[in-house]
Structure 1
Amino acid sequence: MPQRTEPPRRAALNHSPEALRWARRAKGWTQRQLADVIGVKATSVSDFERGTRSAPPDLLIKIARAFRCPVSMLEAWDPQDREASRVLDQISALVRPANREAA
């Protein structure tokens, strides 16, 4: 009987897909808009948000600058973590004024 092989394990992500998606939506941007700002294809942003691909450190910095938040706010988020909720509130506070300026 042939041996069963396990699928390759994915490398750990260097960002939180949930935090990235949340921050983009809080800003009111589409994936394409974020992609244009950081200089990648919309499919890359989709991959980052689905967690199928890690965002390179230089892109995390660009994303954080676009959202006016520290990179650390995009690095780790557990939906069950109360501290994470506080961090997302901080992102929201930083992102929302940018929405008003653009209006």
Structure 2
Amino acid sequence: MTPHNKRRPRGAPFHHAPEAVTYAREKAGLTKRALAGMCDISEQLVGDIEAGRRNATPATLQKLAAALNCPVVVLEAKRVTAPRQRSEEQTLNSAAGGTCSDTPPAGLPAA
């Protein structure tokens, strides 16, 4: 028998960034209770989302973003991407101690 509620596995990433939700709420000058009332969710859920104890569903993130007057992307968790593979030219240049550019980086004197 399959459970009706799917639980997020421990350690799985959140859909939201807890600190971003708290920051946006405080910048909007709202209490957790006021935000919960505007989104038609419980004050406990808002607290759990901000504390990182519970995951905000995409639908809840939409409600929070609308109430906080900010884009959803501000509240979403940033995706961690794998480092890009270095090109052969970059590898050869770093091994030779040089760079692709003849001009020094900003703030450094020319050699």
Q: Percent identity over the alignment?
A: 44
Give the structure with the higher percent helix: 1
**1:66 equivalent in structure 2:** 67
Residue 28 of structure 1: CA displacement? 0.9
Q: Partner letter of residue 25 of structure 1?
A: E
**1:12 equivalent in structure 2:** 13
Residue 16 of structure 1: CA displacement? 0.4
* CA distance in structure 2 between the aligned counterparts of 1:69 and 1:27, rounded to whole angstroms: 10
* CA distance in structure 1 between the aligned counterparts of 2:67 and 2:55, rounded to whole angstroms: 18
Which residues of 2 match residues 25-64 of structure 1 at below 5 A?
A: 25-64=26-65
Kindly report the root-mean-square deviation, in angstroms, between the aligned alpha carbons of the 2 structures. 1.4
* CA distance in structure 2 between the aligned counterparts of 1:14 and 1:69, rounded to whole angstroms: 16
**Aligned residue-pair number:** 70
Structure 2: gaps (5+ residues):
1-8, 79-111
Structure 1: gaps (5+ residues):
1-7, 78-103
TM (norm. structure 2) is: 0.59
* CA distance in structure 1 between the aligned counterparts of 2:77 and 2:10, rounded to whole angstroms: 19
TM (norm. structure 1) is: 0.63
* CA distance in structure 1 between the aligned counterparts of 2:59 and 2:77, rounded to whole angstroms: 17
Greater RCO, CA 8 A, separation 6+:
1
* CA distance in structure 1 between the aligned counterparts of 2:39 and 2:65, rounded to whole angstroms: 10
**2:95 equivalent in structure 1:** none
4+ residue stretches of structure 1 with deviation over 4 A? none
* CA distance in structure 1 between the aligned counterparts of 2:53 and 2:11, rounded to whole angstroms: 8
Q: Partner letter of residue 20 of structure 1?
A: V
Residue 70 of structure 1: CA displacement? 1.1
Q: Whose radius of gyration is greater, 1 or 2?
A: 2
Residue 30 of structure 1: CA displacement? 0.6
